[in-house]
Structure 1
Amino acid sequence: MKKLLYLSLLLFLIACSSEKTDEELLELDRIALNENLVSGKVVPYKFVKLMFRGYASDDTTSTKFKAFKRDSDKLVQKIMKLNRADDLSVKDYWAMYQLYDQMDGFVTQTDEDEFPVIVDAFRRFWDGTKSAHYFKGKAKAEQEAREHAFLTILAMTSSSLGTEIALYECSETDVELLPDSELKGDLRFLRGFVFMQKGFYYLSENEYSNNLEWLKKNKNLDLRATINSMQLGQFDQKQAYAAFRAMNHLYRGVDRLMMEREIDHERVLEDFEQVLKDCKTLKIDNEAVWAIEVYVHLEKGENDKAIASLEKLKKSKLLTDDDKALIDESIEYLKKDDPETVLKDVYDKVFMLKIASAFTYNRLKDVNTNKLLKKSKTPNASKIAKKTEVLENAVDQIDGFSNGETLKEATKKAGEEGEGLLEEAKELFDF
Structure 2
Amino acid sequence: MKKLFYLTCLLLLTACTSEKTDEELLEQDREALRENLISGKVVPYKFVKLMFRGYASDDTGSAEFKAFKKESDGLVQKIMELDHADELSIKDCWSMYQVYTQMDDFVTKTDEDQFPTIVDAFSKHWNGTKSSQFFKDKAKLEEEAREHGFLTILAMASKDLGTEIALYECAETDPEQLPDTELKGLLRFLRGFVFMEKGFYYLSENEYTQNLEWLKKNKNVDLSFTMQTLQLGHLNKEESRTAYHGMNCLFRGVDRLMMERDIDGERAVEDFESVLKDCKKLKLDNELVWVVDSYVQLKKGNKEQAIVSLKKLKKSDLLLPEDREIVEESITYLKKDDSEKVLKDLYDKVFMLKITGNFLYNRIAQVNTNKLIKQKQVPNASKIAKKVAVLEEAVGQIDRFRKGKTLKEVGEAAGKEGGKLLDEAKELLPEF
TM-score range, shorter-chain basis?
over 0.9
The equivalent of 1:271 in structure 2 is 271
Q: What is the CA distance between 1:13 and its match in structure 2?
A: 4.2
Mean alpha-carbon deviation: is it higher for 314-323 or for 116-125? 314-323
Q: Which amino acid aligns with 2:208?
A: Y
**1:124 is aligned to 2:124:** yes
Distance 1:68 1:9 in 2: 59
The equivalent of 1:200 in structure 2 is 200
Instruction: Return closer, same or farther for 1:407/1:235 CA change in 2, 3 Å cut-off.
Output: same
- CA shift digits 1:193-252 (9 cap, x unpaired): 111111111110010001011111111112133224433343221221111111100000
Q: For 2:428, which of 393, 409, 418 is the aligned residue?
A: 418
Distance 1:239 1:301 in 2: 31
Distance 1:82 1:10 in 2: 70
- CA shift digits 1:152-181 (9 cap, x unpaired): 111111111100000000000000111111
Instruction: Return closer, same or farther for 1:410/1:278 CA change in 2, 3 Å cut-off.
Output: closer
Mean alpha-carbon deviation: is it higher for 174-183 or for 92-101? 92-101
- Equivalent residues in 2 for 1:197-346, closer than 5 Å: 197-346=197-346
- CA shift digits 1:309-338 (9 cap, x unpaired): 111111211112222221111111111111
What SS is found at the alignment partner of 2:219? coil
Distance 1:415 1:277 in 2: 59
Distance 1:62 1:361 in 2: 42
**1:365 is aligned to 2:365:** yes
Distance 2:431 2:399 in 1: 17
Q: Is the 8 A contact 1:411 1:418 kept in 2?
A: no
Q: Is the 8 A contact 1:411 1:419 kept in 2?
A: no
Q: What is the CA distance between 1:20 and its match in structure 2?
A: 1.0
Q: TM-score, normalised by structure 2?
A: 0.93
Q: Which amino acid aligns with 2:398?
A: I
**1:49 is aligned to 2:49:** yes
Instruction: Return closer, same or farther for 1:365/1:415 CA change in 2, 3 Å cut-off.
Output: closer
The equivalent of 2:415 in structure 1 is none
What SS is found at the alignment partner of 2:203? helix
* Alignment length (residue pairs): 422
* Superposed CA RMSD: 1.9
What SS is found at the alignment partner of 2:429? helix
Q: Which amino acid aligns with 2:189?
A: F
Distance 2:431 2:103 in 1: 20
- CA shift digits 1:368-412 (9 cap, x unpaired): 000001111011111111111121111122222224314231465
Instruction: Return closer, same or farther for 1:36/1:415 CA change in 2, 3 Å cut-off.
Output: closer
Q: What is the CA distance between 1:278 and its match in structure 2?
A: 1.1
Instruction: Return closer, same or farther for 1:178/1:421 CA change in 2, 3 Å cut-off.
Output: farther
Distance 1:87 1:310 in 2: 49
The equivalent of 2:87 in structure 1 is 87
Q: Is the 8 A contact 1:41 1:164 kept in 2?
A: yes
Instruction: Return closer, same or farther for 1:85/1:415 CA change in 2, 3 Å cut-off.
Output: closer
The equivalent of 2:21 in structure 1 is 21
Instruction: Return closer, same or farther for 1:2/1:48 CA change in 2, 3 Å cut-off.
Output: farther
Q: Is the 8 A contact 2:239 2:282 kept in 1?
A: yes
Q: Which amino acid aligns with 1:320?
A: L
Distance 2:88 2:270 in 1: 54
Q: Which amino acid aligns with 2:246?
A: A
Distance 1:186 1:421 in 2: 52
Q: Which amino acid aligns with 2:428?
A: G
What runs of 5+ residues in structure 1 fail to find an aligned partner? 423-431
Q: What is the CA distance between 1:105 and its match in structure 2?
A: 1.4
The equivalent of 1:377 in structure 2 is 377
What SS is found at the alignment partner of 1:219? coil
The equivalent of 1:191 in structure 2 is 191
- CA shift digits 1:33-56 (9 cap, x unpaired): 111111111111101000000111
What SS is found at the alignment partner of 1:405? coil
What SS is found at the alignment partner of 1:103? helix
Distance 2:5 2:395 in 1: 58
The equivalent of 1:172 in structure 2 is 172
Q: TM-score, normalised by structure 1?
A: 0.93
Q: Is the 8 A contact 1:411 1:417 kept in 2?
A: no
What runs of 5+ residues in structure 2 fail to find an aligned partner? 413-421
The equivalent of 1:427 in structure 2 is none
Q: Is the 8 A contact 1:397 1:406 kept in 2?
A: no
Distance 1:406 1:181 in 2: 47
The equivalent of 2:417 in structure 1 is none
Mean alpha-carbon deviation: is it higher for 232-241 or for 408-417? 408-417
Q: What is the CA distance between 1:421 and its match in structure 2?
A: 11
Q: Which amino acid aligns with 1:343?
A: L
Q: Which amino acid aligns with 1:242?
A: T
